[in-house]
Homo-oligomer: A and B are copies of this chain.
Amino acid sequence: MEKRRKHEIHKQLSVGEVAQRSGVAVSALRFYETRGLIHSWRNAGNQRRYARDVLRRVAVIKIAQRLGIPLAEIHDALSVLPEKRAPSAKEWHQISDRWREDLDERIDKLTKLRDQLDGCIGCGCLSLNTCPLRNPDDIASEDGPGPRMFDPQ
């Protein structure tokens, strides 16, 4: 509780406090700042100070990272969100819907890939120049039949 006192006294957070409470390394927080994902001001001694709202922002960043969204896109998404208040349901929807679509596309792509692989495993894939796995864009081989994937046995 000794250590907690500081937190209770001022509403601003130091970078170390944000790190501890958000579970993100100090170096990562500074990195996010260079990328414009979070913001801070400086105290008299040039140290970063954060509004408590930064914790929400960092939480959103962490979620987006888990979803596999690149930081640049997270940045764009966050620029929709207000800095000093909680976003409205509508604002959150705007962002999460976009990420949801992104996720869907990736799942779709992987699923199609899996189906192609299954086809290729199952069928023996003796005619690999027509195999969808080898010809993702359905471009006919320009140089005669390619090598077969494996021996007919």
* Residues of A in contact with B (beta carbons under 8 Å apart): 20-21, 52-53, 55-56, 59-60, 62-63, 66-68, 85-89, 91-93, 96-97, 99-100, 103-104, 106-107, 110-111, 113-114, 117-118, 120-121, 124-125, 128, 133-134, 136, 143, 146-151, 153
Are B118 and A113 in touch, CB under 8 angstroms? no
Are B89 and A150 in touch, CB under 8 angstroms? yes
- B20, B113, B147: the one contacting A86 at CB < 8 Å is B147
Query: How far apart are A95's CB and chain B's nearest CB, in angstroms?
Result: 10
A89 to B117, CA, bound (A): 14
- 12 more A-B contacts (CB under 8 A) besides A63-B134, A100-B117, A103-B113? A59-B146, A63-B133, A86-B149, A86-B151, A88-B153, A96-B121, A103-B114, A103-B117, A104-B114, A106-B110, A107-B107, A107-B114
- B86, B87, B97: the one contacting A121 at CB < 8 Å is B97
Residue numbers in B under 8 Å from A106 (CB-CB): 110
Interchain residue pairs A-B with the least CB separation, the first 4: A56-B147, A92-B150, A87-B150, A86-B151
Are A66 and B153 in touch, CB under 8 angstroms? no
Are A149 and B117 in touch, CB under 8 angstroms? no
Residue numbers in B under 8 Å from A117 (CB-CB): 67, 96, 99-100, 103
CB contact under 8 A between A147 and B59, given known A88-B153, A121-B93, A121-B96: yes
